[in-house]
Amino acid sequence: MERSARVVAAFRSDGSFAATIGRRITQFGLLVAHPLSFLVVGAYALCWLAFARETFDWSAIATLAVWVMTLFIQRAGHRETQALQAKLDELLRAQEAARNELTRIDEAEPEEIARHRQEAQRRD
């Protein structure tokens, strides 16, 4: 097998390497949406002040502000997604003709969800 084919095979969505990376990225996204991530940024700022006070200037404050705003945006997006998912789950449970396995599709990886949507579109 030539080198480029091996690289492509390693990054296919059904390959173990790609699946592991995808799961880790998803887990990291959930972790960043947790309220404790703000404490991590605060601890980083305190360490910066303690160990490199001379480099802590306006650009450092701007950097920390960008990180905090990024966490706010991530948290708001996560909250909205979770609320929307809860509403959709309730609608699926209330609808007798709906398939119950769809209430748990949000636990799948994005590639699996995309495959499911493509299959559903082909059936329609």
Domain range summary for the chain, segments of one domain joined by +: 1-32, 35-123
Mean pLDDT throughout 99-118? 77
Q: Is the dihedral of CA 53, 57, 59, 61 positive or negative?
A: positive
Please give the average per-residue pLDDT across 115-123, as a whole number. 81
End-to-end CA distance of the chain: 39
If one compares 19 and 51, the residue with the highest pLDDT of the two is 51
Compute the average pLDDT of residues 33-54: 92
